[in-house]
Structure 1
Amino acid sequence: MPSPLILFLMIFFLLECTIGIIENSFIIIVLGREWVQCWTLLPGDMILASLSISRFFLQGAAVFSNFFSYFFLTSRKLYIDIFWNFANTVSFWFTTWLAVFYCVKISSFTHPIFLWLKWRISGFVPWLLLWSLVICILIFILSFVKTSLVFQLPVTGNYSEKTTFDDVIRAFQSHFLLPLQMFILLIPFLFFLASTILLISSLCRHLRNMQHRSAGPQHPSMQVHVTTVKSLFFFLILYALYVLPIIISLAAPISVCSSHYWVWEIVIYSGISIHSAFLILNSSKLRRALKKMLHYREAA
């Protein structure tokens, strides 16, 4: 039976993930209905729909994995963790491509590379999503093979064979799989960081140009750009709050029976829930659908 503190943290974590699942389900339904009607989506909506699908499964896997680990404490949970790692890595890459897409589309840089990307980025989106998915599937296969070997070979071996095999598995995990997981997580984070910094730099330069043209601080265009910069900076903080605890937990795992573990989980998944809410509120299409749904509920 969990202690009152851990029970409270569990309930808070469950509510947090439930909110995130509802938010991403809403995005999937709205964009999915548009895709069914038109058989196509805008590139930004395509990334957003893919991101919402990955986050839906990520948060579902997180809830199942955490509660399964606490109440059953079985090594078979490794298979659940494999699916969680897959959904987590996919979510990382899709979040990064969303930042890259908006960076290229909104930034006002005149460098030939940016101009070429601005012209081509829409056509690149399906390929970026596909290759990200392929990379994540390869990592998923490696993890699945490693886990399958853990469960199969020791059953037929003697004690010395088990010990040797356990050493091999630990060496494989510490010297190959763990560095690979960190590398796969850090690469999209660095892309996200670079895209956000470039976009904020571009928008700040645009604000300075407008000020030189005597545009007052209350000018509508100025207000839009200031809001965009604030939102991007906030998204960067949320993304960092999600990435850093995961990397730390990979390097130094915490027991699921500890209250610190559940605090880490709440911090990690708060970023996803808040970011999904911002994506809904910052999209005119999703905002209209939300207002229509709320108006329908009030009328009913």
Structure 2
Amino acid sequence: MAYTVDTILMLIAAGEASVGIVGNAFIGLVNVMDWIKRKKIASIDLILTSLAMSRICLLCIILLDCFILVLYPDIYENGKEMRIIDFFWTLANHLSVWSATCLSAFYLFKIANFFHPLFLWIKWRIDKMILRTLLACLVLSVCFSLPVTENLNDDFRRCVKTKEKMNTTLKCKTNKAGHASVKVNLNLVMLLPFSVSLVSFSLLILSLCRHTRQMKLSATGYNDPSTAAHVGAMKAVISFLLLFVAYCLAFLIATSSYFIPETELAVIWGELIALIYPSSHSFILILANSKLRQASKRMLWNVKNILKGRKC
């Protein structure tokens, strides 16, 4: 690629990652400060903090991978050094997705109203289960990430940077099927948390419909706290689902890019699109959470006052 194209794409990647890191760091900082102040942490805050930390790691790793691809291609070609990045990328990716899934399930059990015994049993115990569930997600993420410490991506890295060489090109063609099967299996694992979030969203819709019918029969109106909670939770879950689909498509483009003529360009574009998911969803969560929303307003007000003071 031309030097100017490299520079522009790297600047875009750095901008996206910086915005996402600021948003997720804000979520983590507000919740940790509240934790220190109150000497305890709410379940929703624990999930959001875990999600924010995993996404900060994910953003940093994606940005690092993009920089290495453009600025230090020799490192990128050496699979032994890149396996560490592959491991932490997969770990942060899975942990982020599973934490978002926990958030979707938490919204469901806290807000929805169903009278099935199993649903009620979980609803009453959901706060006590959150910490153990997040620890289980961490263990699952580590288990799913261990296979990439092998040489699963070595040929892919080499093909991205040295595709024009004849002997390497022939080797790439030989190993495409194996690399593709590995990536398909890793991506299929992500269908489980995606399915859980999709089911949570569907049940929230069903619960809202039932609640709306009850409000209509009782003639109490629709602007009650339960309806607002349903709508807010549904917005957070559907935004995660849509952004996650875009992220998976971008990740598929990046990891399968040596099927495409401009391999390096395809990898970078895939990573640029992938950065949108962990960056933008954090701001959606801030707007959906009353504590975070109020904290952001206070922060913007303080920044505004500081800027006014400097002008004076």
TM-score, normalised with respect to structure 2: 0.78
Q: Say whether the 8 Å CA contact 2:66–2:271 is kept in structure 1.
A: no
Provide the identity percentage: 33
Can you list the C-alpha shifts for 1:161-199, whole angstroms capped at 9, x where unaligned?
xxxxx9xx9887555x43542233221111111111111
SS of the residue corresponding to residue 257 of structure 1 reads helix
Alpha-carbon distance between aligned partners in 1 of 2:135 and 2:250, rounded to the nearest angstrom: 27
Stretch moving more, 136-145 or 215-224: 215-224
* C-alpha spacing 1:262/1:49, structure 2 compared with 1 (3 Å): same
Q: Say whether the 8 Å CA contact 2:232–2:288 is kept in structure 1.
A: no
Partner of 1:67: 67
1:269 to 265, 275, 278: 275
Stretch moving more, 181-190 or 234-243: 234-243
* C-alpha spacing 1:130/1:225, structure 2 compared with 1 (3 Å): closer
Q: Say whether the 8 Å CA contact 1:51–1:94 is kept in structure 2.
A: yes
Partner of 1:158: none
Q: Say whether the 8 Å CA contact 1:65–1:81 is kept in structure 2.
A: no
Alpha-carbon distance between aligned partners in 2 of 1:267 and 1:148, rounded to the nearest angstrom: 21
Q: Say whether the 8 Å CA contact 1:107–1:202 is kept in structure 2.
A: yes
Alpha-carbon distance between aligned partners in 2 of 1:103 and 1:220, rounded to the nearest angstrom: 15
Paired AA for residue 75 in structure 1: E
Q: Say whether the 8 Å CA contact 2:239–2:281 is kept in structure 1.
A: no
1:257 to 261, 264, 289: 264
Paired AA for residue 287 in structure 1: R
Alpha-carbon distance between aligned partners in 2 of 1:66 and 1:183, rounded to the nearest angstrom: 24
* C-alpha spacing 1:6/1:211, structure 2 compared with 1 (3 Å): farther
Partner of 1:36: 36
SS of the residue corresponding to residue 113 of structure 2 reads coil
1:291 Cα shift? 2.0
Paired AA for residue 272 in structure 2: I
Partner of 2:285: 279
Paired AA for residue 136 in structure 1: S
Q: Say whether the 8 Å CA contact 2:91–2:145 is kept in structure 1.
A: yes
SS of the residue corresponding to residue 41 of structure 1 reads coil
2:95 to 90, 95, 112: 90
Partner of 1:200: 205
Q: Say whether the 8 Å CA contact 1:82–1:143 is kept in structure 2.
A: yes
Aligned length: 284
Q: Say whether the 8 Å CA contact 1:50–1:94 is kept in structure 2.
A: yes
Paired AA for residue 288 in structure 2: N
**Runs of 5+ consecutive residues of structure 2 not aligned to the other structure:** 156-171, 307-312
* C-alpha spacing 1:141/1:275, structure 2 compared with 1 (3 Å): same
Partner of 2:165: none
Stretch moving more, 63-72 or 138-147: 138-147
Alpha-carbon distance between aligned partners in 2 of 1:285 and 1:209, rounded to the nearest angstrom: 29
* C-alpha spacing 1:5/1:248, structure 2 compared with 1 (3 Å): closer
Q: Say whether the 8 Å CA contact 1:196–1:236 is kept in structure 2.
A: no
CA RMSD of aligned residues (A): 3.1
Mapping of residues 239-258 of structure 1, within 5 Å:
239-247=244-252, 249-250=254-255, 257-258=264-265
Partner of 2:164: none
Partner of 1:116: 121
Mapping of residues 93-242 of structure 1, within 5 Å:
93-146=98-151, 177-216=182-221, 225-226=230-231, 228-242=233-247
* C-alpha spacing 1:38/1:226, structure 2 compared with 1 (3 Å): closer
SS of the residue corresponding to residue 115 of structure 2 reads coil
TM-score, normalised with respect to structure 1: 0.81
* C-alpha spacing 1:30/1:219, structure 2 compared with 1 (3 Å): closer
Paired AA for residue 131 in structure 1: A
* C-alpha spacing 1:57/1:227, structure 2 compared with 1 (3 Å): closer
